[in-house]
Structure 1
Amino acid sequence: MLVTTRHHGRSRSAVLAAPLVALLGLGLGGCDFDPTGLFAEKYKPEVIPDVPADKLYSEGLAKMEDSDYEAAVKKFDGVSKQYQYSEWGRKSLLMTAYANYEGQKYDDAINASKLYLQRHPASKDAAYAQYLIAMSNYKQIPDVTRDQDRSEKALVALQELVQRYPTSEYAADAKAKIQITRDQLAGKEMEVGRYYLERRNFPAAINRFRDVVSKYQTTRHAEEALERLTEAYWALGIPQEAQNAAAVLGHNFPDSPWYKDAHALLASNGLEPREEKSSFLSRTFRTLTGRTASAE
């Protein structure tokens, strides 16, 4: 508790504070006099040498060649801040993103790349900045047993790259990685679906397998998803849906071992696959393959 006493109309605390306020006032006025020594180190001015942008940039490149990515980031970041509105500043901001990426500081690479796109959306290197965002997320994709938030972000960034920069040199690689990322997301849905199926929670399992069929038909998991739907519908006591799932599987993947399993399940109960042309599954794969009802 602060105890004050009156001294000629002012509190003792005010009297004690007066010299400090005066010293601060002197400092603000430009005087270097500091009898207390309290501010000598804390507010010691830093002398920043006036180094040309191209020299700093070259030093950053040298650090990159030595794989000293942290030091390279510092060099490029310095240029991008000191010479923000110059060509050196633009190039250095992109190199900041790249150096962070090479140093596996992926979130920092994403932030620098986004800042680059914000400042230079029409730049010739904008596609590369978007590619760094996509790849920084892609490199962090975990295995299917874990949350797939990074996979979702990678997919969005990759798709944006293809849509916004379809003729860029990075578009082909992005398309290939889109398929891999979609396969990853489908794999996660399958894992959860199997979990529910094993625990006889058939409605929840069906929802997961239907998601795979509706969102990820071109992945390697589509065949199994249709077979699992056959199992789940049969176990739930809906044989017509089981027959339909097996038929759609047979029409689209006739040589699949998953179709053999689905067919065997129905045959053991005296049934055959039978497709319902107006069903969700049938319409989904007709849209994908171009099959028509009349052609069937």
Structure 2
Amino acid sequence: MSRSGSYVSKIAVIVCLFGLSACGGGGGLFGGGATRDVSVENLGPEQIYQKAEFELEGGDPEEAVRFFNEVERLYPYSEWAKRALIMSAFAYHADQKYEESRAAAQRYLDFYPADEDAAYAQYLLALSYYDQIDQVGRDQGLTFQALQALRAVIERYPDSEYANSSILKFDLAFDHLAGKEMEIGRYYLKRGHYTAAINRFRVVVEEFQTTTHTAEALHRLTESYLSLGLTDEAQTAAAILGYNYQSSEFYQDSFNLLKGRGLAPDARGTGWLRDVYRQMIRGQWL
């Protein structure tokens, strides 16, 4: 880490050690197999904190959280309590207890908004949403929350070491939302619910233009409109596809579909796709 004195600089080491056995041998304060028999009431904040670190490095984030929380409980206004709070957020996350991690990270931001590790707390809060994205099926509430939290990192801490990672994850989460719209649109298309499918593909074209799904969305619009007999809209969708993605397989598929009907890509009609085409020609699209 570039910031000297920041305790979060230790996290990289912890991540590397996570899941490995703690140092062998019976020496040290927590060695000898008696690590869980120490009464924290008789220990100072640094010793309890070290105990928590020992458990975390030994692959037991749940036990680590218990000791980090004890630092806060017994020494609530100390520097060690502040360090323990951010590390408890990290340990909760390592244990995949995302709600608890988010709560601890938010408390850190509430108590220490100007601290040098506030950026990391905000990043952990964002990760608590982001790392659940693939677990939520079609409910995209967590994805939207991840986007908002990642944007907070990017906007509030643009010079932090977490900004670039947040930008990457933001783009991936945004792409994920577009992918879900495509998934639902394909579902409707396969079952002949063309209007419902068009509504989903339109969202991708209008709201998610920068994602990897736009070319396919335009092709599926061509398919859907042709199925409804709306040839002007189908030709316009294919024209936009050809203008931006002429080398893609989706353009070739759309071109062949139109050719089979004696048609060709062409910006026609006065609908919403015609507006998109005009914006594209003016350089205001994509």
The TM-score range, normalised by the shorter chain, is 0.7 to 0.9
Q: Using the alignment, how far apart are the partners of 2:59 and 2:238 within structure 1?
A: 55
Alignment partner, residue 231 of structure 2:
239
Distance 1:92 1:208, change over 3 A: same
Q: 164-173 or 134-143, which moves further after superposition?
A: 134-143
**How far off its partner does 1:81 sit?**
2.9
Q: Using the alignment, how far apart are the partners of 2:164 and 2:274 within structure 1?
A: 31
Q: Which 5+ residue runs of structure 1 have no aligned equivalent?
A: 1-46
Question: Which one of 179, 183, 204 corresponds to residue 196 of structure 2?
Answer: 204
Tell me how many residue pairs correspond in the alignment. 246
**How far off its partner does 1:82 sit?**
2.8
Residue 230, structure 1, aligned to residue 231, structure 2: no
Residue 292, structure 1, aligned to residue 282, structure 2: yes
**How far off its partner does 1:226 sit?**
0.3
The one-letter amino acid paired with 2:105 is S
Q: Is the 8 A contact 2:233 2:273 kept in 1?
A: no
Q: Using the alignment, how far apart are the partners of 2:91 and 2:277 within structure 1?
A: 44
Q: Is the 8 A contact 1:186 1:212 kept in 2?
A: yes
**How far off its partner does 1:283 sit?**
5.0
Distance 1:84 1:59, change over 3 A: same
Q: Using the alignment, how far apart are the partners of 2:120 and 2:274 within structure 1?
A: 40
Alignment partner, residue 73 of structure 1:
65
Deviations 1:181-201 (A, max 9, x none): 122211111111011111221
Distance 1:171 1:283, change over 3 A: farther
Report SS of the residue matched to 1:142: helix
Alignment partner, residue 134 of structure 1:
126
**How far off its partner does 1:166 sit?**
1.3
Q: Is the 8 A contact 2:267 2:277 kept in 1?
A: no
Is the radius of gyration larger for structure 1 or structure 2? 1
**How far off its partner does 1:86 sit?**
2.4
Q: Is the 8 A contact 1:98 1:132 kept in 2?
A: yes
Q: Is the 8 A contact 1:72 1:99 kept in 2?
A: yes
**How far off its partner does 1:251 sit?**
0.5
Normalized against structure 2, the TM-score is what? 0.79
Alignment partner, residue 155 of structure 1:
147
Q: Is the 8 A contact 2:53 2:64 kept in 1?
A: yes
Question: Which one of 248, 256, 259 corresponds to residue 256 of structure 1?
Answer: 248
Q: Which of the two has greater helix per residue? A: 2
Normalized against structure 1, the TM-score is what? 0.76
Q: Is the 8 A contact 1:202 1:235 kept in 2?
A: yes
Q: C-alpha root-mean-square deviation of aligned residues, in Å?
A: 2.4
Report SS of the residue matched to 1:49: helix
Q: Which 5+ residue runs of structure 2 have no aligned equivalent?
A: 1-38
Distance 1:283 1:134, change over 3 A: farther
* Structure having greater relative contact order (Cα 8 Å, sep ≥ 6): 2
